[in-house]
């Protein structure tokens, strides 16, 4: 099922998934979650058909993000927090406000386990920014349909109303007061369209993945290169300040 390269990816060390979680259960769950994440990447990321030399934007990169799994790619990290130790080009920006890049600046926008941390009214704008700056995208989010809430490790926590969920949340591994709203299939299709990939555990959908391979056609009205020195299309015009807090997500996201 997996080729040599994918097996190597699955064996590569990854950051502690539950680094800031509470209680003993996260310490047991963290290596399992990290292996599950590596398996998902090995299975689905190749479908994006990212060519050598392609430019990739990692939206919500945290300290390492996609570079932990694809260190050979030309990746620019974006996060709402400053990441002084990020090992590559980095821009502090907030997609809920707007990304400081031109249209189709990147061959692929990668966004893993971010959307559920964004308030539902702001998600359409973030999805529009992903589609705008990328010729293609790989967007993954844990499925609302899965019975275990992956941040708290509590069964059914995401299916409760706000008050009941807040009380129940205290029993799990999640950060107190954490605002998380998982997405179902219908919402993912509304944001990114069909088709939608499903990561499954047996018959159950664990996460949804919207994946579009890069569109290599030139942008409408684009001029051919003249050979002169030009500014990179992905060079940020300026930096948009943070408004949404994803600090805990990057250190404590199992999906």
pLDDT, tens digit (0-9, with 9 covering 90-100), for 185-208: 999 999 999 999 999 999 999 999
Are 112 and 69 in contact, with CB atoms under 8 Å apart?
no
The pLDDT value recorded for residue 115 is: 98
**Tokens matching residue 90:** 């980095």
Q: Is the pLDDT of residue 252 over 80?
A: no
Residue 243 lies in a domain: no
Q: Is the pLDDT of residue 112 over 80?
A: yes
The pLDDT value recorded for residue 217 is: 76
Domain count, the chain: 1
Residue 176 lies in a domain: no
More confident residue, 27 or 84: 84
Taking CB atoms within 8 Å and a gap of at least 24, the contacts of 3-8 are 6/42, 6/43, 6/46, 7/42
Q: Is the pLDDT of residue 96 over 90?
A: yes
User: Tokens 């950060």 map to which residue?
Assistant: 175
The pLDDT value recorded for residue 254 is: 52
The pLDDT value recorded for residue 253 is: 53
Q: CA nearest 250: which of 1, 20, 7, 11?
A: 20
pTM (predicted TM-score): 0.79
The pLDDT value recorded for residue 177 is: 76
Residue 64 lies in a domain: yes
Q: Is the pLDDT of residue 241 over 50?
A: no
- The domain in which residue 190 lies consists of 4-145+183-214
Residue 249 lies in a domain: no
β-sheet with 197-201: strand ranges across: 90-92, 74-79, 55-59, 108-112, 137-142, 204-212, 197-201
Span 123-145, pLDDT tens digits: 999 999 999 999 999 999 999 99
Residue 104 lies in a domain: yes
Residue 134 lies in a domain: yes
The pLDDT value recorded for residue 17 is: 53
Residue 234 lies in a domain: no
Q: Is the pLDDT of residue 27 over 80?
A: no
Residue 244 lies in a domain: no
CATH number of the domain that 122 lies in? 3.40.50.150
* pLDDT mean across residues, the chain: 82
The pLDDT value recorded for residue 85 is: 94
């Amino acid at each position: 099922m997996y080729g040599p390269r994918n097996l190597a990816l699955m064996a590569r060390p990854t950051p502690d998934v539950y680094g800031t979680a509470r209680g003993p259960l996260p310490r047991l769950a963290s290596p399992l979650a990290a292996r599950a994440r590596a398996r998902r990447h090995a299975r689905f990321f190749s479908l994006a058909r990212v060519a050598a030399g392609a430019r990739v934007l990692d939206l919500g990169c945290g300290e390492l993000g996609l570079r932990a799994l694809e260190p050979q790619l030309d990746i620019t990290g974006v996060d709402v927090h400053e990441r002084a130790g990020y090992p590559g080009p980095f821009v502090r920006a907030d997609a809920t406000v707007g990304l400081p890049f031109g249209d189709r600046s990147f061959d692929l926008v990668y966004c893993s386990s971010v959307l559920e941390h964004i308030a539902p009214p702001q998600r359409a704008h973030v999805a529009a920014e992903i589609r705008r700056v990328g010729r293609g995208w790989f967007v993954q989010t844990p499925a609302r349909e899965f019975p275990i809430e992956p941040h708290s490790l509590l069964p059914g926590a995401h299916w409760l109303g706000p008050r009941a969920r807040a009380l129940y949340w205290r029993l799990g591994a999640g950060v107190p007061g954490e605002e998380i709203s998982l997405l179902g299939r219908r919402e993912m299709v509304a944001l990114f369209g069909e088709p939608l990939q499903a990561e499954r555990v047996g018959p159950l959908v664990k996460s949804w993945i919207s994946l579009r391979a890069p569109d290599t056609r030139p942008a409408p009205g684009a001029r051919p290169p003249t050979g002169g020195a030009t500014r990179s299309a992905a060079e940020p015009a300026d930096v948009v300040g943070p408004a949404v807090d994803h600090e805990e997500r990057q250190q404590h996201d199992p999906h």
